[in-house]
Structures are given as structure tokens and as C-alpha cells.
Structure 1
Amino acid sequence: MTPVRQVVVNSLDDVQFELTARPVPGPGEVLVEPTLVGICGSDLHAARGVHPFISLPYRPGHEVVGRVAEVGAGVDLPLGSRVVLEPNLACGECAPCREGRYNICDVLDVIGCQTPGGMTDAFVVPGHRLHLLPDDLDDTAAVLVEPLSTPLRAVRRAGDLTGKRVLVIGAGPIGLFILLGALRAGARAVVSADLVATKRDRAVEFGAIGAVDAGSSDAVDRARELLGAPADVVFDCVSRESSVRQGIDLLRKGGTFVTVGVAAGPTTIPLDLVQDRELDLLGCLMFVREDVEEAITMLREGGVPVAEVITAEFAVEDAGAAYAASADPEQVKVVVRVRESS
């Protein structure tokens, strides 16, 4: 049987292929043949060796769209059906899992992070980790389902945003999706903050009432001026000490701070202000099925400008070049095509 190619990332400048035997699905499993696979910020952190929860080398691919090629016993998915991967692998037994928060399972692994992922010719996955895709959502849009799901969970974590003033720190894909999700959830006004001018411009194109240079000394004052008042909610997609300080400085008393970006390690926060202003600090890690379903709905409704988000596509043979392109701050979302959509 023809072996399958699996992309292996040793570093940002060292992306290779390994050949493995074509896997066979066991009971409850599905063999998926990917069509498109996205590269995200966590992939870049991992490739640079700075992701706190992914070790090198790793086998990427957690943003995956593909087709069902084979099924194991007990799986009721039609052969050839189009699916999107929900990559979290949870135990189903710990307290968070029993509460329906399996995204923070005590022993969580993520396909394409801690286990081999979908940037390959074919891979096996438990059938319950797949979502069937509707016919009116093509593969190019569907590859955004996974990266959209975390921002939508972050928006949901923040509570009712109706009429709220919102700051989003970071205007990469996650920040842009939070911006879109916050507006969809009824936010009164959203301001974006980023170091890169073109990213700030893009955030305004996506609906922000303005964008501020996160590196400027008057960033907080400028954001407050644009919002017309302190922020009700801040989403931090950067998660550095400087972004935490900016976000908390801008929050009104009783406001909410949601950290979405992956911090490189322990990060200092102004706890005196958290206590004095009675701020709510919330974390957001990945998502659950409800968020994936909401992402599919939002994409079907045309709530994401797909053509403006996916800025480059590479063949899987050029995976190394795809990683290099992803490191360019001018790119939004880079995807890798494993095979043509049928």
C-alpha cells in the first residue's frame, strides 16, 4: 500500500516529510483524507520553540478540512462526506469534562499539537471529533471553522456584549475574528490595537471604529477617546505584560478582561487594579462543540470575509515555504492544500 506523507516541523526553518504506513481506522475511528490545512499562531510559536505546551519536533495540522475515506466499526459517517476536525482529545471523565467544558480536560491533548496532525495525506481520528459540513460551505471557507471557534468562545465567555464598548488587542486572525464576533454579538463599538499599521487598517475594514498603535505611549488614551469611555470588555490576543497592562488600564470599574493569546510563560499583571476596580479576569482555551457549530453558522451566513482572511495558499509539497510565509506579519491566514477539493 502506498505510504502517506506526514509533515514534521523541527524548527521554523526545518520543515520535513516522513513516510508512514497508511493508517487503518479501528472501531469508532475514521480515516480522513485532508484537502486544506491551516497554519495558525500556535503553529508558529511551536515552530520557533516558544510554545509552552508543544514540543519540537511536532507533526502539525489541527485546522483541517477533508473527506471521509474509510470508517471503522460503529461509525455512521458516509464515505466521501466532507468533514472538519475538532482537534481536542478529552478524557470525558474528569470534572471539567463532566461539566461540558472538555476544552479544559485535565489530560487534554490536541491533534496536531501533542499528537500527529492532519498535515498529511491521510490520518485516523475518533469519529466523534469530526463535524459534517453542509454543501453550501466550500472547503476554503470551512478551513476557517476551527480558527473561528476559539474567538467565538472568547466572545461567549465575556457574557452579553449588547451595547458594550470593546477593545481587541492584536489584529491577527484571532483578533479579527473576535472583532467580527463581538460586532455580531451586539457590541456598540470595537477598537483594535496592534503594532503593525496594515493590521490596524485591516481591523478598521473589518468593522472596528478605529485602531491604535499598541506601541505608542498614548495607546490607552487614544483607545478611550475612540470608544468615548473606558472599555467594558478587553480581549487580549497577545498576552504579554505590556498588553495586559494596556487592557486593564483601559477597563472601566467592574469590566471584563479575557486573555485569549498564548502567553510565553508567567506574566505580571497589575493585581492592585484588578482588586480595586473589581475586574473579572477570564481565560479562554480552544472551544467545545457549541462553538464549532456557531462558527459553521457564521461562515454560512457570510459573516467572515473569507477572501480577505486567506491571503496565501501553498501545496503540501511546499509546507516549508508555507511556514515561512506565515511568519510574515503581512499575511493573515496561510493554508496548505494537500489535495484538490472534489
Structure 2
Amino acid sequence: MSQRNRRVLVRAIDDISIEEVPVPRPGDNELLIRSTVIGVCGSDTHAALGRHPFIDLPYRPGHEVVGVVVAAGEGAEDFAPGTRVIIEPNLYCGQCAQCRSGRYNICRELKVFGCQTPGGMADFFTIPVDRVHRVPEAMSDLQAALVEPLATPVHAVAKTGDLTGRTVAVLGAGPIGLLVVAAARHAGAARIVATDLLETKRERAVRLGADSALPADAADLVAQAHAVLDGPADVVFDCVAREQSMAQAIDLVAKGGRVIVVGVGAPGPTPIRLDLVQDREIRIEGTLMYTSDDYRTALDLIASGSIGTDAIITATYPLEDAAQAFAASLQPEHVKVLITVTAP
């Protein structure tokens, strides 16, 4: 095996480089994985811009990773070399009350691979064996690259309970918003309206299951959305998480309804109308990442063919062009940008 191991280092959005580090050796219960496809997440670009509240610069990204097992440490031999895998990047303690209840996605000591630890935007990396899932044989690497991004919307939708026959509004049609639309439709939502500033993204939202997609800056947005849904939304998913989108969410949701905050908010306070929250018994709830159940649901949904890669993936770049991939991800017309790694 080649001893060359390139790894992306992000110091700032205009200072993204490739460092060369030794190929790691898998420890007990670890796998050595060769990366094949890595997604550039919105959290990656937020961090590169210095705007992510929980990722410090510099950092070494890569939490949306598809790869191939190269070697297994003791205790991880169930994964033979050549096995294609995706990673579940939440690294949890397993001991706190949240972990013991099965909610390890909000572990008290949670670290995210590729956010608070060096990630998989590299030729090779190691990761605990319990953090990987096998890729079905019939699934392409590009399809597999959408499983991790889809798992977050699957988890967000699952938090609302049974969506069958209910109405939904999705604010923001970036990668997560588009996949929330798909997950909500899969979960049985009766009618879905999405919003975004860009017409191209609104068109994608309709392709993925929205009944209508409206300009996010429309002066009469609430009235238009209520017309599509035949009344206020039972559930609003805020995939933007800014003051304006939260204000829209409060106005869009029905009395007794629920607002799920999916997007990563900016550091600091965000004003909301507490008088309306109280008077209308609106429930506002955050959602973070996913658990293995959400991963399995996302795998099944991708495998079903319900979500085409062409509706989400808009560009690919080789690893050596990671800086260009980050720059492309900041362009409004792009949805999901991927980095591909050629076997050394």
C-alpha cells in the first residue's frame, strides 16, 4: 500500500491546503479506510468562514464519507478488506444519561468525526468499527454519499411522530431542506410547501416531493403557503435557522403545531415572538444529527430510488482541488458538492 496520505486542512475559507501525514494503523476495534467520496457539508463551509458555533479553526474536515476497508484491527475482523462502507460520525461516550437512553446523538461528551476530530477528507483514516455501515452492493458510491446528509432530515422528521395526513412547511431548499422534503413525503405528509430564494432550488424541491415551492422573500409568503396547505402547517422545519426564518415559522405554523429547528443557527441570541409561542401553544424543538435507526432508514430510502443523485449532487472535485470544492459549495446555485478520491 502506498504510504502517501493526503489530508485536507482548513485554516480559513481562503486558506485550505493539503497536508501529507502518515497512513494511520488501525487500533483494536478500529478500521483503516480508504476514502472514495466525501461530501462538503454546510457545516464545513460555516466552519471555514468562522461562523460555526461548535467547530474551531483550524480543522480537518470529512464527516460525510464513503470508503473501502483496507485493514481491520483486532476485534474488527467482521469487515473484510474491500468492503464498501459509510461512516456514522457521531463519537459518543456511551455512559451518560443520554447515551444510556439511546439518544447518543446528544451525548454529553459528543464529538463529531471531521468536526472536533480529524476527519475523512483524506486518502486514509481510521475510525471505530461501530461507526461504520456497509454499503449495499447495488448502491453506487454517489448514492451512498447522500446517506449521511439524509439521516439528519430522517431524524428531524421522526421527531414529529406520525406525519401521515399532516401538512408541512420546509424553510430553505439547500441540501438539508431538499432532503427534509423527501423524508417528509416518504413519511406520509399530505401536503408540503417549501421556500427558497433561488428558483432552481425551488424547482428541485418540487422534484423531490413538495407540492409547491415559494420565494422565501415574498411579501405574502405566509398567505401563499397557507393557501397551498389549506391552512397553517402542522409542522414547520426551519432549515435556515435565522431570525427571519424563525419569524416566518411562527407565522406559518398552526396553533398547537411544532417548529423543528434543523439548520445550525448563528452564535448568539435569535429573537422570536414568545407571546405567540405561548398564546398558540407552539412547540419549538431542536434536532441534532441522527442515530443508527435513522441511518438504516436513510439507506433504505436511497436504495429505493426515491431520491436521484442528479436532484442533489451538482458538482464533484478531486481531493487535490478541495479548496475549489469549498468555494463551489458557497455558490447559491450548488446543492451538494462532493470530493472524489482516486485510489493511490
TM tier, smaller? over 0.9
1:329 equivalent in alignment to 2:326:
no
Query: 1:169–1:234: 8 Å Cα contact kept in structure 2?
Result: yes
2:23 match: secondary structure: coil
* Counterpart for residue 148 of structure 2: 146
CA distance in 2, matches of 1:267, 1:339: 43
The partner residue of 1:280 within 277, 280, 283 is: 283
CA distance in 2, matches of 1:303, 1:127: 29
Query: 1:194–1:213: 8 Å Cα contact kept in structure 2?
Result: yes
CA distance in 2, matches of 1:326, 1:308: 15
* Counterpart for residue 319 of structure 2: 316
CA distance in 1, matches of 2:213, 2:298: 25
Long gaps (5+) in structure 2 = none
* Counterpart for residue 70 of structure 1: 71
| Residue 247 of structure 1: how far off its partner (Å) | 0.7
Long gaps (5+) in structure 1 = none
One-letter identity of the residue aligned with 2:302 = L
Query: 2:166–2:234: 8 Å Cα contact kept in structure 1?
Result: yes
| Residue 278 of structure 1: how far off its partner (Å) | 0.9
CA distance in 2, matches of 1:222, 1:85: 40
| Residue 206 of structure 1: how far off its partner (Å) | 2.0
* Counterpart for residue 253 of structure 2: 251
| Residue 340 of structure 1: how far off its partner (Å) | 5.5
1:157 equivalent in alignment to 2:159:
yes
| Residue 338 of structure 1: how far off its partner (Å) | 1.0
One-letter identity of the residue aligned with 1:111 = F
Runs of at least 4 residues of structure 1 off by over 3 A? none
The partner residue of 2:238 within 233, 236, 239 is: 236
Deviation digits for residues 10-33 of structure 1 (CA, Å, limit 9, x no counterpart): 111221011111100111111010
Deviation digits for residues 20-67 of structure 1 (CA, Å, limit 9, x no counterpart): 111001111110101000001111101111000001111010000001
**Matched residues, percent identical?**
52
* Counterpart for residue 79 of structure 1: 81
Query: 2:168–2:233: 8 Å Cα contact kept in structure 1?
Result: yes
Query: 1:36–1:339: 8 Å Cα contact kept in structure 2?
Result: no
* Counterpart for residue 3 of structure 2: 2
One-letter identity of the residue aligned with 1:40 = C
The partner residue of 2:118 within 109, 116, 122 is: 116
* Counterpart for residue 303 of structure 1: 306
One-letter identity of the residue aligned with 1:28 = N
What count of residue pairs does the alignment treat as equivalent? 341
The partner residue of 2:200 within 162, 175, 198 is: 198
* Counterpart for residue 24 of structure 2: 23
1:238 match: secondary structure: coil
* Counterpart for residue 178 of structure 1: 180
* Counterpart for residue 45 of structure 1: 46
One-letter identity of the residue aligned with 1:59 = R
CA distance in 2, matches of 1:226, 1:256: 18
Deviation digits for residues 123-162 of structure 1 (CA, Å, limit 9, x no counterpart): 0100100001110111110011100000000000111111
The partner residue of 1:133 within 114, 121, 135 is: 135
